[in-house]
Amino acid sequence: MDFIRTAIPDVICIQPKVYGDHRGYFSETFRKDYFEAFIGTSIDFCQDNESKSAYGVLRGLHYQIPPFAQSKLVRVIKGSVLDVVVDLRKDSETFGKHVAIELTEENKKQLFVPRGFAHGFVVLSDEVIFSYKTDNYYNADAERGIAFNDPALNIDWKLDLEALKLSDKDKALSLLSEAEVFTKSEFCNG
């Protein structure tokens, strides 16, 4: 596995090694020992989630507030998405900045989203099967979000914004300037 720091160094792109032949392929999608050695801390993923979505569906930008904040390790099993991560740590040099990476079934890239970041994706293929691990359990009362089209974020979602399909909940998310944000230490892993 190759671990690559993005423009926001705490957000890590992971490129698993893929071994293929006439039968198909094999790939290790997660190795706790390699992962922890790279990030320099322990992590205990406790919940796996999977979603299926059609072209143009946008899910996000979501996060959970402490003490229910979550780190995520996200990947695409089928199809492709533009995956977006926004830094919500108000004392960070990259507060309000984002990273956008295309995750596909072909490139097998994964993205590590630490606590303190909002996360979302838009489906670029006819359909997608999206999978992710979290290091804390989902808590509905702790769920928050940032509007995908907040002008302060200036995210290029790669699709016509009028054609996007959002849940009613995601259509009502607040701007970053109105969001509940915390310091790095309040979002820390552990």
pLDDT band at 186 (very low <50, low <70, confident <90, very high): confident
Cis amide leading into 16 (omega within 30)? no
- Choose, from 62, 63, 119, 137, the residue flagged as catalytic: 62
Catalytic residue list contains 132 = yes
- Alpha helices by DSSP H, listed for 75-189, are 168-171, 184-187
pLDDT above 70 covers what percent of the chain?
99
Asked if the model's pLDDT at residue 72 lies above 80, the reply is yes
Burial readout 131-162 (b: 16 or more C-beta within 10 A, e: otherwise): bbbbbbeeeeebebbbbbbbeebebebeeeee
Check: pTM over 0.85? Answer yes or no: yes
Catalytic residue list contains 22 = no
Asked if the model's pLDDT at residue 190 lies above 60, the reply is no
Q: How many domains does the chain have?
A: 1
**Mean per-residue pLDDT for 34-56?**
95
What CATH number is attached to the domain comprising 139?
A: 2.60.120.10
Using one digit for the tens of pLDDT, what is the confidence trace for 107-142?
Answer: 999 999 999 999 999 999 999 999 999 999 999 999
Structural domain of 74: 2-187
- Choose, from 63, 98, 119, 132, the residue flagged as catalytic: 132
